[in-house]
A and B are shown apart, each in its own frame.
Chain A
Amino acid sequence: MKPLLDITADRFRVSRAAYTDPAIYAAEQAAIFSRCWLFVGHESELAQPDAFATRRVGGRPILFLRDSQGAFRCFLNVCPHRGAQITRERSGKSRSFTCFYHGWTFDNAGTLRGMHEPHTYPEGFCQAGLHDLVPVPRFESYRGFHFLNFDPGAMSLRDYLGGACAYIDTIVDQAEGGMRVIGEAQEYSARANWKLLAENSVDIPHVTALHPTYLQLVATNSQGRMKRGEMPGYSLDLGHGHTVVERIATYGRPIAQWIESWGEEARVEIEAIYLRLVDKYGKERADRMAHCARNLLIFPNLVINDIMSVTIRSFQPVGPDGMEISAWALAPAEELGTPALGRRLTNFLEFLGPGGFATPDDVEALESCQRAARVAREAPWNDLSKGLSPGGDDQRGDTMSELPQRAFWRGWQAWLNQPGRAGDAG
């Protein structure tokens, strides 16, 4: 296989085959989506014991639930008997699950509780514990974000997240009573390789070219706060393919940057939030929380963007040229039932989601890249050299640098090159 990254002192390029080649897709499934920590869901999606949700994670059907004792658990959504899905519901509440195919029944801790005609099985077959629901190999959480790992020997989630933890903290600590998912996820898609969305989600330089209609909308409510090209801040390589861009926000933030169109009452509320943050965390951290926006990419397929609103975005590849995207809105619990939540959701929809004023243009750009990527033989390279400083270690850059994309690709290459463990499929 030809090299997929072309890295010299003053150039960083990615082969367009990396977005289209089925062999690379297969290699990613084994080396990345079977080894990295993958986001499953947020704790607030399962607010009560017995709540469950199903979803696709890393290509596998997953059952994410809280058992009757309230413990979070994560199973492969497949019957140990003949392989039907244990539940086909998207979400709900249940103390037990009965497979609709042959009727095996499990409690929500995964234990087999009943099967049809147990006396017809060979002696010893029905021994306890042999035919329970299969949990995912590893299941851990950080600050309310639940992840799974299909590699039993993986490092801990905390070690995997590494430097990303501090940024998750900066977001979660804005809430007094914890963060909540608001409503349901938006479920959409793009006919594009998943890595294009990873690149796009932490890409600041595209905003002025791709999203002028968003900037013009914001100009109608932020009275010139949005200054083109001025984005003081930085980008960081956080290791393992994780990356972040943080900069001064140029729009209103529910926590805690007031804009005139929100009115006087909101100004008082937001000032109070800001003062609470200063009181709790000191002025420097409070200023960062209130006045800076951050785009955080957790390798491979989780984005937590704390921008004009907070969104969790995860994307599941479905072949080299398609992905399913899920987007959740996250808000502090104390905003529920208050006008602050309305401001947050308006901010969300002004930019984000399949009907937003900006995200559809992103989807179009990614799909355009995918349509054009078939030129890999004749015009082989995408260029990601912006902001590269020859001789530097490329660990920290400005906001208009393509450093976040380089950090992602360096992580991607490291995961692909990591030698397989015994028992790995490929």
Chain B
Amino acid sequence: MPADASPWPDLPAVAEFLYEEAALLDDWKLPEWHALFAPDGWYLVPNTFGDPYAPVEQSLYIIADDPHHVSERVKRLMKRSAHAEQPRSVTHRLIGNVRILGRDSAEMRVQSSFITHRTSQGVTDSFFGRHEYRLVLLAGALRIREKRTLLRTGSLRPQGRLSLIV
């Protein structure tokens, strides 16, 4: 889908977009979070080992959601039968180190660092690492074509699972 010709937002505006994204996830407003995605948007969490950019159809990821699966993941997490997140965990996301890595007429590449704390059943786990975004402009608004979350936790041994969208 071609992006329109609007000028790209500056760094503070991009950072604000990422803070807003984090706030929607903290507030469990997942359909609103999903609305930040372009219709062809992917959500990827590569394995903690191996090449984080390996083709999804040739390597085992932790999450490799195409647009259909992003939508299904959001639907799942909003249901009471998403048992891993019931009762819903309390989460807090800290976003920093926001950088614009590059832009051309179609796409802007942005990365941020994150720390997400998740508390459930009296246990607090921390997830941290780097989000890498491919952003596009659709009708003048920033939208996510790809969000790739590189966990820098070594493995998921301490946390056990990734039942939330970090």
Seen from chain A, the residues whose Cβ lies within 8 Å of a Cβ on chain B are 90, 182-191, 210, 212-213, 216-217, 220, 324, 328-329, 336-337, 339, 341-342, 345-346, 348-350, 353-355, 357, 359-361, 363-365, 367, 371
Contact = CB atoms under 8 A, between A and B. Distances in A.
Nearest to B62: A355
Interface in B110-158: 121, 123, 155-158
Interface of B: 45, 47-50, 54, 56-64, 68-69, 72-73, 75-76, 79, 81-84, 121, 123, 155-163
A360 B121 contact: no
Given A183-B47, A188-B160, A191-B160, A336 B76 contact: no
3 pairs of A and B residues whose beta carbons are closest in the complex:
A342-B57, A360-B84, A183-B60
14 contacts: A183-B54, A184-B60, A186-B60, A188-B156, A213-B76, A337-B58, A346-B57, A348-B60, A354-B161, A359-B161, A361-B83, A361-B84, A363-B160, A364-B83
A220 B156 CA distance: 29
Contact of A363 (B63, B84, B157): B84
Which of A185, A341, A354 counts the most B-chain CB atoms under 10 A from its CB? A354
Contact of B160 (A342, A345, A354, A361): A354
Given A184-B60, A337-B58, A349-B64, A324 B83 contact: no
B120 to A, nearest CB: 9
Contacts of A90: 49
A329 B60 contact: yes
A119 to B, nearest CB: 42
A184 B62 CA distance: 11
Which of A212, A357, A359 counts the most B-chain CB atoms under 10 A from its CB? A357
Which of A184, A210, A324 counts the most B-chain CB atoms under 10 A from its CB? A184
B156 A210 contact: no
Given A183-B54, A183-B61, A354-B160, 18 more contacts: A183-B47, A183-B59, A183-B60, A184-B50, A186-B60, A189-B159, A191-B160, A212-B79, A212-B81, A213-B81, A216-B75, A216-B76, A342-B58, A353-B60, A355-B163, A357-B73, A361-B84, A361-B163
B49 A187 contact: yes
Contacts of A363: 84, 160-161, 163
Contacts of A329: 60
A182 B58 contact: yes
A218 B45 CA distance: 21
A185 B84 CA distance: 22
Contacts of A337: 58
Contact of A350 (B54, B58, B69): B69
Nearest to B69: A350
Contacts of A336: 58
Nearest to B156: A188
B127 to A, nearest CB: 11
A183 B45 CA distance: 14
A74 B81 CA distance: 44
Given A90-B49, A361-B82, A371 B121 contact: yes
B157 A189 contact: yes
Contacts of B121: 367, 371
Contacts of B160: 188-191, 354, 363, 367
Nearest to B54: A183
A355 B63 contact: yes
A182 B81 contact: no
Contacts of B76: 213, 216-217, 357
A111 B165 CA distance: 49
B38 to A, nearest CB: 20
A355 B44 CA distance: 10
A355 B158 CA distance: 15
Contacts of A187: 48-49, 155-157
Contact of A345 (B60, B155, B157): B60
B56 A186 contact: no
Nearest to B154: A187
A341 B72 CA distance: 22
Contacts of A371: 121
Nearest to A318: B157
B72 A349 contact: no
A39 B76 CA distance: 34
A316 to B, nearest CB: 11
B62 A354 contact: yes
Contacts of A184: 47, 49-50, 60
